[in-house]
Amino acid sequence: MQQIAVISDIHGNIPALQAVLDDISRRGITTLYCLGDLVGKGPNPAESVDRIRDVCELVIMGNWDHLMAKPNGNEDLRWHQRRLGEERLDWLKTLPFSHDFTMSGKRIRLFHASPVSVYTRVQPWDSLDSRLAMFNNTDRTGAPYGESLPDVVGYGDIHNAYMQNLKGRTLFNTGSVGNPLDMASASYAVLEGALGDQDAAPFSIQLLRVPYDIELAVNMAEQARMPQLEPYVRELRTARYRGLKDE
């Protein structure tokens, strides 16, 4: 049996990332996958990229990674781009869209947001058809299992950890390490099973929450004088998305 830690949506939040990496290490897990959005929002995109490159066997492209790697006239984005530098921006361009593998006889697919685009957002309360479409083979994912679809799909993007059984298939979201928007603690997933095994064997998915020093992260953002500081700090402290209207 092998364990894989699946993390996502770091968003330049180093205190949250370090807390999650410490928890993964305490559990003795040595294989880490990242589902994208290393950058954007938070004050330390360069440090986030460097750390993820060091510890993750697989890194998938997120929407912020894709957006940041392109020329952009938006000064807020350019602030992050300047901190990243050309070499890291070039590396972000090379990240794959998705990854397929087998574990305990289950066909597993990982991507950032959906099988059609890093910008297509699917929430746990969306229609059943929308959630079932997350298992589709597309031009972006290819069809590595032939006509068969994956049994398990994992993704990030929405910063909202959950797991659902949908007509015998499992859809899960890791939540966010650095910008959780369901509760104010970092989130990640652990897959456990027989990696690469085509035969049925015990298999599990855990969703874990890790507390971290939010005020340290706030202080780092303030010291960096980063753009969009106020909404970022509010999100960290309240886990409430900045786009929601006050009730």
- pLDDT tens, residue order, the chain (247 aa): 999 999 999 999 999 999 999 999 999 999 999 999 999 999 999 999 999 999 999 999 999 999 998 888 789 999 999 999 999 999 999 999 999 999 999 999 999 999 999 999 999 999 999 999 999 999 999 999 888 999 999 999 999 999 999 999 999 999 999 999 999 999 999 999 999 999 999 999 999 999 999 999 999 999 999 999 999 999 999 999 986 544 3
- Parallel/antiparallel/unpaired status of strands 186-193 and 162-166: unpaired
Enter the tokens of residue 112: 């950032």
| Calpha distance 1→191 (Å, rounded) | 10
Enter the tokens of residue 83: 């901190």
| Calpha distance 237→63 (Å, rounded) | 23
Q: What is the pLDDT of residue 246?
A: 45
Cβ neighbours for 68, distance < 8 A, ≥ 6 positions apart = 39, 40, 45, 77, 80, 81, 84, 89, 92
| Calpha distance 245→247 (Å, rounded) | 6
CA nearest to 37, candidates 124, 101, 111, 87: 111
Q: What is the pLDDT of residue 97?
A: 98
Compute, in degrees rounded to 10, the torsion defined by CA atoms 141, 100, 89, 83: 120
Q: What is the pLDDT of residue 247?
A: 39
CA nearest to 62, candidates 101, 131, 111: 111
Q: How many CB atoms lie within 10 A of CB 175?
A: 27
| Calpha distance 24→186 (Å, rounded) | 12
Q: What is the pLDDT of residue 3?
A: 98
| Calpha distance 85→169 (Å, rounded) | 41
